[in-house]
């Protein structure tokens, strides 16, 4: 809001300078009354609480068991919001029996006393008592987005970010910091909509006795950002490789990725796109309207780009909003549009054949664009 006020002040100041150097013999004054400006809001609640002050408790886990920490994020603001999440401030506890791994044992030196201890954790720790249990918690993360409160018709969008077979632990995803510095993008929630977040914590079945009685607490931060994130009205969305597993697409661990930076409102679709980790071939940015079909008519965005690492930018006349509001055009209307990068070998004119979906970069969030020329 401060940035908007400053922009209006600058515009007024420039206009004053221009007027000061102008003389006019004829004049006319037209007055427009009742003009309004409304600042939209970004606001979320967690499990119907705003602000959220509660906490989640997984409880006792043994190796091979899984605990869940699921919650609901509702967008109670007036603008769509990109959601991201961080876990941080990992703190360890040990609820063991209070044994001393270096206590004197008759006929055994203090340094090797743990080797004769009757406590399995003491033996496994080899006297260190330093175990970071977050390295043994394998992490799953998935989200579903709904247009409103009603879930009868199913989600409008969903994605699996991490699954058990990826082998991601809490530390490999979030690091181990005292503050929220590493965020995972969850996706976009339209105004009035909500997101169900499913997180599972799978205790490594091969975790040793050194983790007996150990506990872990951590902080979680949920962040909601407006789509336009800078003073020029530019927003960003990440595109990633996905693979199909059990009928569902999930983000490929270590796959190629790209970032689309775009203007959310304007007479033309202004964008910059960068990507790395691709096969060295020709690619095309496209708008992909649902429902799924093969072959499928799409909308090209800009021209063909080539290489394993690409940079592209453009100012394209799409002739439509994203998503297209035309009846029956896109099942994702009005929530958002899918932007993909696809190899041109899968395109014939504006028809996508779905021949090599393993090479596509797909959306991690829906986008919205307002074509002001319409």
Out of 122-131, 323-332, 354-363, least confident range: 122-131
Q: DSSP letter at 176?
A: S
Q: What pLDDT is recorded for position 24?
A: 38
Nearest-CA neighbor of 362 among 238, 184, 187, 195? Answer: 238
Are the C-beta atoms of residues 324 and 290 closer than 8 Å to each other?
no
pTM above 0.75, yes or no: no
- Three-state secondary structure call for residue 117: coil
Determine the Cα–Cα distance for residues 95 and 345; give it in Å rounded to an integer.
Answer: 59
Q: What pLDDT is recorded for position 344?
A: 97
Partners of 249 in beta bridges: 244
Nearest-CA neighbor of 103 among 93, 86, 92, 117? Answer: 117
Mean pLDDT confidence for 78-104:
69
Nearest-CA neighbor of 165 among 140, 186, 142? Answer: 140
Residues with Cβ within 8 Å of 333's Cβ and at least 6 positions away in sequence, in order, are: 323, 324, 325
Task: Give the HSE-up count for residue 155: Cα atoms under 13 Å, Cβ half-sphere.
Answer: 14
Q: How confident is the model at residue 231 (pLDDT cuts 50, 70, 90)?
A: low
Count CB atoms within 10 A of the CB of residue 284: 21
pLDDT at 41 over 50: no
pLDDT at 108 over 50: no
Bond preceding residue 160 cis, omega within 30 of 0: no
Count CB atoms within 10 A of the CB of residue 287: 21
Tokens, residue 260: 């689309």
Residues 183-217 have pLDDT tens digits of: 888 988 888 899 999 888 888 887 766 666 667 77
Furthest CA-CA distance within the chain: 111
Mean pLDDT confidence for 22-32:
37
Residues with Cβ within 8 Å of 61's Cβ and at least 6 positions away in sequence, in order, are: 67, 201, 203
Tokens, residue 89: 């401030």
Q: What pLDDT is recorded for position 34?
A: 37
Partners of 312 in beta bridges: 273
Are the C-beta atoms of residues 296 and 308 closer than 8 Å to each other?
no
Can you list the domains of the chain with their CATH numbers? Answer: 44-94+132-224 (2.60.40), 234-371 (2.60.40)
How far from each other are the two terminal CA atoms of the chain, in whole angstroms?
A: 27
Burial class, 367, CB count within 10 angstroms (exposed 0-12 / middle 13-18 / buried 19+): buried
């Amino acid at each position: 809001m401060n940035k908007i006020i400053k922009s209006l002040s600058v515009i007024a100041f420039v206009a004053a300078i221009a007027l000061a150097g102008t003389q006019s013999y004829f004049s006319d004054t037209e007055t427009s009354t009742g003009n309004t400006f409304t600042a939209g809001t970004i606001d979320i609640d967690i499990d119907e609480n705003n602000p959220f002050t509660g906490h989640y408790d997984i409880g006792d886990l043994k190796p091979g068991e899984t605990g869940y920490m699921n919650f609901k994020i509702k967008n109670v603001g007036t603008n769509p919001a990109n959601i991201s999440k961080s876990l941080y401030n990992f703190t360890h506890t040990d609820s063991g029996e209070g044994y001393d791994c270096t206590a004197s044992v008759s006929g055994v030196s203090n340094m090797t006393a743990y080797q004769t201890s009757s406590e399995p954790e003491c033996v496994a720790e080899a006297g260190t008592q330093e175990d970071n249990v977050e390295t043994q918690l394998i992490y799953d993360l998935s989200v579903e987005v709904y247009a409103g409160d009603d879930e009868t018709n199913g989600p409008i969008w969903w994605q699996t970010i991490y699954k058990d077979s990826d082998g991601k632990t809490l530390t490999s995803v979030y690091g181990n910091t005292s503050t929220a510095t590493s965020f995972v993008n969850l996706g976009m929630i339209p105004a009035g909509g909500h997101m169900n977040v499913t997180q599972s914590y799978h205790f490594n079945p091969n975790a040793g006795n050194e983790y007996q009685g150990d506990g872990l607490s951590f902080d979680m931060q949920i962040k909601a950002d407006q789509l336009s994130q800078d003073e020029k009205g530019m927003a960003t969305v990440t595109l990633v490789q996905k693979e199909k597993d059990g009928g569902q697409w999930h983000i490929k661990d270590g796959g190629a990725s790209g970032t689309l930076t775009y203007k959310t409102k304007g007479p033309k679709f202004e964008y910059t796109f960068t990507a790395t980790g691709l096969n060295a071939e020709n690619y095309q940015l496209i708008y992909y309207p649902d429902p799924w079909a093969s072959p499928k008519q799409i909308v090209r965005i800009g021209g063909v780009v080539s290489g394993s690492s690409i940079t592209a930018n453009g100012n394209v006349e799409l002739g439509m909003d994203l998503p297209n509001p035309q009846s029956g055009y896109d099942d994702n209307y009005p929530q958002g549009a899918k932007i993909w990068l696809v190899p041109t070998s899968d395109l014939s004119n504006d028809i996508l054949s779905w021949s090599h979906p393993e090479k596509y970069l797909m959306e991690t969030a829906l986008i919205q664009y307002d074509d002001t020329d319409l």
